[in-house]
Amino acid sequence: QKEVEQDPGPLSVPEGAIVSLNCTYSNSAFQYFMWYRQYSRKGPELLMYTYSSGNKEDGRFTAQVDKSSKYISLFIRDSQPSDSATYLCAIGGSNYKLTFGKGTLLTVNP
Amino acid sequence: DTAVSQTPKYLVTQMGNDKSIKCEQNLGHDTMYWYKQDSKKFLKIMFSYNNKELIINETVPNRFSPKSPDKAHLNLHINSLELGDSAVYFCASSNSGTGSSGNTIYFGEGSWLTVV
């Protein structure tokens, strides 16, 4: 079983839709849960960070972690064309190493 | 103000050549990384240095040699380039200290390497 599995894309939604992006992980020692957004030909940029189970909200973005199920999600409300990018989940422990999911390409159509 | 900067951004070179990619961060972080992103967008760690000491060395051909002259710089030298080395190489940095941000990693813009 891979350490981090991310729902494969691509995902295409109309503007204003609610988007749900998901990852599962296998190692219960993981402590940090992050979502990165990567625009075409750019580096990944940190979008959300959390280290506990529950929800964390930042504007239109909500990160959700369920440690008991080893499941993390990113919700985007009122999606915009500017949200079109690849979204990568990343999970880390105490050893400086982040393990990334394979990414989900999201396209928001105007 | 570029936080993590790497050069060159694009590099096209022939098989068998030796090339280097340089990286600098001005975030005051003590840990730096090299990640490789393949054509399928899969991002995988190659190396990590903490205060100039190598702490992560994944299974990477020994043609790849990282060098960290100080904690703000981490360079990647690649010998005898092969077609399969074509990828995007990302430099990144983080702080090893504990705190609410954990080991949040900040990435550079990437170096697109094409071996022909």
Digits of tens for pLDDT over chain B (116 positions)? 679 999 999 999 999 999 999 999 999 998 999 999 988 788 999 999 988 888 888 878 899 999 999 989 999 999 999 999 999 999 999 887 544 455 678 999 999 999 99
The greatest distance separating any two alpha carbons of chain B, rounded to the nearest whole angstrom, comes to: 45
Give Cβ neighbours of residue B61 (< 8 Å, ≥ 6 apart): none
CA angle B102, A73, B88 (to 5 degrees): 65
Residue-by-residue pLDDT tens, chain A, 110 positions:
678 999 888 999 999 999 999 999 998 888 889 999 999 999 999 999 888 889 999 999 999 999 999 999 999 999 999 999 999 999 887 666 788 999 999 999 99
Query: Nearest to residue B45, comparing CAs of A98, A74, A7, A33?
Result: A98
Spatial separation of the C-alpha atoms in residues A73 and A19, rounded to whole Å: 10
Name the CA dihedral angle for A80, A81, A83, A87, rounded to a multiple of 10 degrees: 130
Both tokens assigned to B58: 């994944």
Reported as half-sphere exposure (CB side, CA atoms, 13 A), residue B68 has a value of: 22
Find, among B43, B55, B52, the residue nearest to B91 by Cα: B43
A92 and chain B in contact, CB less than 8 A: yes
Give the minimum alpha-carbon distance from A103 to chain B in angstroms, rounded to a whole number.
Answer: 7
Integer Cα distance of B100 and A52 in angstroms: 11
At B5, give phi and psi (nearest 5°): -120, 140
pLDDT tens-place string over residues B48-73? 998 888 888 887 889 999 999 998 99
B108 CB neighbours in chain A (<8 A) are 43
What would the two tokens of residue A100 be?
A: 């990334």
Task: Quote the distance between the C-alpha of residue A58 and its chain's center.
Answer: 13
**What residues of A are in contact with residue B31 (Cβ under 8 Å)?**
96
pLDDT value of residue B39? 83
